[in-house]
Structure 1
Amino acid sequence: MVLFATHFLSFLFLFPIAIRRLVCSVSLYLESPAQFSSKTWYFSEPKWKNWDFYTLLVALPIASFSHIYLFLAISGLPTYRFSFLAQSLLIFLFWALLILIILKESLDLYVVPESFVFILGGIAFLAEYFMNGRGILGLGGVAYELLGGLALVCAACCLYLSIWPSAFFADFLLSSGLVLKAVWVLQLGLSLYTDAFSVKGCEKMTIMQGNNREVDVKCDLEEDKLRGMALTNLLFIVHTTLVLISSFVLFGLLHRIGNTRSREDSGPLLSNIGSSEGIVMNPLPIFELE
């Protein structure tokens, strides 16, 4: 139950952040496609609207120290003990990345270019790829391997944006990948750590210390194991398809809203007022981004 709660909390933190990044990225691109430049974090004005960023600044160190406590509290040398230490270091790496971002934005540290922050983000995602789900076998190994693949995609997008920050498709893929990561983390918690969504013929995940390896989901028959792997891959394909379709639908909605507002602002009366008083109309005034 604790492991499911961990996955659920990760979903609650990551999903709204990923959705907000996707909306801000698309809005900024539609406002001026030729001048689009990706950012590691899209800040809004006033500053209190960035509650998700400040929540992460507080939550990530707490989560990191919690994993260190679990590492120290477990006696002996079970194979899963050091995974808590690895997760703690990984969380701390992402927290250090947030610290660098807030220092760059608050103190105007132009000596730290945006490309350098993207490179550090790519390194953090690469570290997640190498640390994620190591030692877990069976159905859990398949599910965590797919999650690691998403981290690898996010790392590639960050490294690409560090070279070509104007590449909107890379930013769009990064934001959609973060949304998919959040959804898949929740699916992992439901499939591996609960009885209600477990695969038929397989028991929920238990950690054992036999032969220096971890056993996650135990299936009575080989057919049940193969069916569970096929179902896991199918669920991932379904999640990927739904997230991509939702992302393109969101793009279309924001584009339509922008065109509607642009037509309203370019009416005869408003155009006369704007020309006489020097008012500049924003075609997509949804977010005020720095």
Structure 2
Amino acid sequence: MASLATHFSAFLFFFPVGVRRLLFSSSLYLKSPSHYRSKIWYFSQPRWKNLDLYILMIALPIASFSELFIFLSFSGHPTYRFAFLHQAFAVLIFWALLILIIIQEYIGTSFISESYVFIFAGISFLVDYSVIGKGIAGLGAVVYGFLGGLTLVCAGACFYLSVKPTAFFADFFLSSGMVFKGTWLLQSGLSLYTDAFGLKGCQKILPASPLEDIDVKCDLDEDSLRGITLMHFLFTVHGILVMILSVGLFGLLASNWNLRWGETRGPLLTELESSNMMMPLPEQELE
């Protein structure tokens, strides 16, 4: 998390994936709540419509190797330097998760169970949590503390879905958590690493000397306290907006059948319809 570029790149990863997951999972749940079963990734048919997944398959290793190259060439603050190495490893873990998703979808559960893929997804979020805000203190630590909490919510949802994939509320929290994490990543990058959107009376995060922790430098203690209060307020605003977005999308899908995603696509819907057809019909009452 050492620059605005890494925050923006992470936003482009988490926010679209979270919104897409929210749309597909809600559509599937509304079609048949009693037969709902969460998927690690909601594939569309034909397969070219899964373009976002294929783009991530290419973009994530490029991002990981870019972070590794910066680690090898960066000669500044050691905490900053090793932050790039930790980020490279975290991005690589998410790339490995996408590979497992593709293997599970195209080869089938005989090779690897979806529950194990959910467990690996939870581990990926825990790895991400371990590198968030590493070596940053003060105001920056408060901002990244919120981000760490959102990451733990996503990890917990993944672990719960690995045990009970029929729990829609866990999938809802996972999707909303990824959207919230994406928006807060963007907010953190703008507030901590830019002058235009920085906090009043405080400078953007700059590399410190090898003996100092990295922190946002504020002119006065009052500026630092005001900045902490403002970030608490912004976090609350983000949470309210994400909840409105999530609940609003669910309500919109529930009220309009034509807006639902994945209604006639993919093997999951076929399995769902087959199970519905196999259900015994209630006996007619004798007149």
* TM-score, normalised relative to structure 2: 0.88
- In 2 relative to 1, CA 284–62 (structure 1 residues): closer, same or farther, beyond 3 Å? closer
Separation in 2, partners of 1:98, 1:53 = 8
Residue 206 of structure 2 is matched in structure 1 by 206
Residue 242 of structure 1 is matched in structure 2 by 241
Structure 1 residue 119, shift from structure 2 partner: 0.4
Residue 3 of structure 2 is matched in structure 1 by 3
* TM-score, normalised relative to structure 1: 0.87
Matched, 1:228 2:227: yes
Structure 1 residue 284, shift from structure 2 partner: 7.7
Alignment check: 8 A CA contact 1:78 1:209 kept: no
Q: Which AA in structure 2 matches 1:92?
A: L
Matched, 1:184 2:157: no
Residue 252 of structure 2 is matched in structure 1 by 253
| Unaligned segments of structure 2, at least 5 residues | 268-287
Please tell me the root mean square deviation across aligned C-alpha atoms, in Å.
1.7
* 1:145-224 alignment, distance < 5 Å: 145-215=145-215, 217-224=216-223
Secondary structure of the residue aligned to 2:3 is helix
Structure 1 residue 76, shift from structure 2 partner: 6.8
Secondary structure of the residue aligned to 1:110 is coil
Q: Which AA in structure 1 matches 2:98?
A: L
Alignment check: 8 A CA contact 2:24 2:262 kept: no
- In 2 relative to 1, CA 198–81 (structure 1 residues): closer, same or farther, beyond 3 Å? same
Deviation string 1:80-99 (CA, Å, 9 cap, x unpaired) is 21111111111111111111
Deviation string 1:66-122 (CA, Å, 9 cap, x unpaired) is 111011102376222111111111111111111111011112242311110000000
Separation in 1, partners of 2:76, 2:201 = 32
Separation in 2, partners of 1:208, 1:79 = 9
Q: Which AA in structure 1 matches 2:154?
A: C
Indicate the percent of aligned positions where both proteins have the same amino acid.
Answer: 55
Q: Which AA in structure 2 matches 1:225?
A: S
Structure 1 residue 5, shift from structure 2 partner: 2.5
Secondary structure of the residue aligned to 1:177 is helix
| Between 153-162 and 132-141, the greater mean CA deviation after superposition | 132-141
- In 2 relative to 1, CA 19–287 (structure 1 residues): closer, same or farther, beyond 3 Å? farther
Q: Which AA in structure 2 matches 1:288?
A: R
Q: Which AA in structure 2 matches 1:221?
A: L
Secondary structure of the residue aligned to 1:203 is coil
Matched, 1:288 2:261: no
Separation in 1, partners of 2:205, 2:254 = 45
Q: Which AA in structure 2 matches 1:55?
A: I
Secondary structure of the residue aligned to 2:21 is helix
Secondary structure of the residue aligned to 1:238 is helix
Q: Which AA in structure 1 matches 2:112?
A: V
Residue 279 of structure 1 is matched in structure 2 by none
| Unaligned segments of structure 1, at least 5 residues | 262-282
Matched, 1:92 2:96: no
Alignment check: 8 A CA contact 2:104 2:112 kept: yes
- In 2 relative to 1, CA 229–44 (structure 1 residues): closer, same or farther, beyond 3 Å? same
Separation in 2, partners of 1:201, 1:212 = 21
Alignment check: 8 A CA contact 2:67 2:84 kept: yes
